[in-house]
Structure 1
Amino acid sequence: MSPAIRLQDVAKVYRTGQTEVTALHRVSLDVPRGEFVAVMGPSGSGKSTLMHCAAGLDTPSSGEVIVDGVAIGGLNETRRTELRRERIGFVFQSYNLVSSLSVADNITLPLRMARRRADPAWVAELVERVGLTERLHHRPAELSGGQQQRAAIARALVARPAVVFADEPTGALDLRAAREVLALLRRMVDELGQTVVMVSHDPAAAAHADRALVMADGRIVETLLRPTATELATSLMGAQEAAFTMAGES
């Protein structure tokens, strides 16, 4: 079976006038289906650029990105948007729920935008799994931060995507709510076989992943399997030192 996400020699160069900044240096990566991958690194390491290119939100300068077996480089913007709606789910740090809609309508919004019918049994299962059965008719402002993020996770899963990208999903949450959200993502991988790629600066969050990729200066400098928070903190410090060294050599 093909991986959920494949990057082949992906590079990203930003140009401003005569200045060039290389955010990704020919990164290659496979994310198997049903795996929870965390991407870590110091500020400016390229982790957000990696996610944006992998999710089709940004276009690489070179290389190829394949999502669920589809090479997205040759797609026009309309087809790329359709692919994101159908095969990719997103969870953001700021939740991005629509304030005027109920929880139920926020969860099913991606289906309505794609003009697809909701599967009532699947929606009900998701709502139960995220613990919001009693909150379906509430507006986002009536929910806690953790509840809003759980609604956002249900929304990301409602279209049964090939992969869910989570960008600092616990960054705005207190410790208890963050643990609940991370445990929920872990269960979605273990119980539903969902593929999750999470960008995080927090070693404790990344320790929930099957595999952690540590980045520095636009490169994956270390891969850890079933990492502990302590191992990740040590690796992150090493990545920061590597970034300083690379910056000094450039």
Structure 2
Amino acid sequence: MTKTYPNGLRALDEVSLTVERGSFVAVMGPSGSGKSTLMHCASGLDVPTSGRVVIGDTDISALSETRRTELRREQVGFVFQSYNLLPSLSIADNITLPLRLAGTAPDKDWLRTLVDRVGLADRLAHRPAELSGGQQQRAAIVRALIARPAVVFADEPTGALDLRSARDVLDLLREMVHGLGQTVVMVTHDAAAAAHADLALVMTDGRIVDTVTAPNADDLARRITKLETE
């Protein structure tokens, strides 16, 4: 797919990508490389100028904005750097908000499974401000998973966390992939974060220029540094 903006900037240049179900993929690259645009188009937040985006069996690039919104609610989970929890709601209500907006009741067994796995079972009545940053991000991960989406997109999910909390969140994402069969695509500038993934895609100038299986943080950092200095 390609994505060209009205000013002529080609943010994605004939990118072709297949993400296997139940895999953890990291997308890395220098600033302006196209990694965020790739996530926006792949998740249905934006549409490519040309090409197709398929989630499950649905070509989302052919859908109306209204239907794309519905599909994102049903099939796509999001985890952002800023958590995006509503301060006036309890953690339980924040987690189940996407389902309630869709008019769907939460699966109580699934909710219990998730909060037990992330260690928040005793925090559900708390407000976000009563939790640490790491706990808030764990709540955001549960919210992303509560509807059993086909794929979760994580945009710099550890950017606001200290090193220990960041490592815990990355370990949790890996557990969700390998323990629950979830598919995760993570955009990050951090080579150490990308090293938690099964596969790292390195981007520059709107293209995927390298694919690294079982990535190593030092090796990824060298690759990115080389791209930034070329």
TM-score after normalising by structure 2? 0.98
Paired with 2:182 and 2:215, the residues of 1 have a C-alpha distance of 20
Corresponding letter in the other structure for 2:95: I
Residue 13 of structure 1 corresponds to 4
How far is the alpha carbon of 1:239 from its aligned partner?
Answer: 2.4
Deviations 1:124-149 (A, max 9, x none): 11111111111100000111100000
Q: Distance in 2 between matches of 1:230 and 1:218?
A: 23
Among 205, 221, 225, which residue is 1:233 paired with?
Answer: 221
What is the percentage of aligned positions where both structures have the same residue?
A: 68
> In structure 2, what is the equivalent of residue 128 of structure 1?
116
Q: Distance in 2 between matches of 1:150 and 1:197?
A: 16
2:199 corresponds in structure 1 to: 211
Which residue pairs with 2:16 in the alignment? 28
Residues in 1 aligned to 2:47 and 2:94: alpha-carbon distance in whole angstroms: 28
Aligned pairs for 1:86-125 within 5 A: 86-125=74-113
The equivalent of 1:60 in structure 2 is 48
Letter aligned with residue 15 of structure 1:
P
Which one of the candidate residues 17, 27, 33 is aligned to 1:39? 27
Please tell me the residue identity of whatever aligns with 2:113: E
Q: Choose the corresponding residue for 1:76, options 64, 85, 99.
A: 64
CA distance in 2, matches of 1:50, 1:241: 23
Matched, 1:182 2:173: no
SS in 1 for 2:13: strand
- Mind listing any 5+ residue stretches in structure 1 that lack a counterpart? 1-9, 243-250
**1:241, CA displacement in angstroms?**
3.4
Alignment check: 8 A CA contact 1:56 1:80 kept: yes
Structure 1: how far apart are the matches of 2:138 and 2:34?
27
Distance 2:54 2:135 in 1: 33
Secondary structure in structure 2 of the residue aligned to 1:109: helix
Match among 13, 28, 36 for residue 48 of structure 1: 36
Deviations 1:182-211 (A, max 9, x none): 000000001001000000000000000000
Runs of 4+ in 1 over 3 A off after TM superposition: none
Higher strand share: 1
Between 42-51 and 74-83, report the one with greater CA deviation.
74-83
Q: Which runs of 5+ in 2 are unaligned?
A: none
Shift in Å, 1:64: 0.6
Which residue number in structure 2 is paired with residue 5 of structure 1? none
Paired residue for 1:7?
A: none
* Partners of 2:225 and 2:208 in 1: CA distance: 14
SS for the counterpart of 2:134 is: helix
One-letter amino acid of the counterpart of residue 133, structure 1: A
* Per-residue deviation, 1:113: 1.0
Structure 1 SS opposite 2:87: coil
Kindly indicate whether the alpha-carbon contact (under 8 Å) linking 1:40 and 1:200 is maintained by their aligned counterparts in 2.
yes
Greater relative CO, 1 or 2 (CA 8 Å, sep 6+) = 2
Q: Deviations over 1:210-250 (max 9, x none)?
A: 000000000000000001101111111222234xxxxxxxx
Alignment correspondent of 2:208: 220
Partner residue, 1:157: 145
- What's the offset of the Cα at 1:116? 1.0
* 1:14 partner letter: Y
| TM-score, normalised relative to structure 1 | 0.91
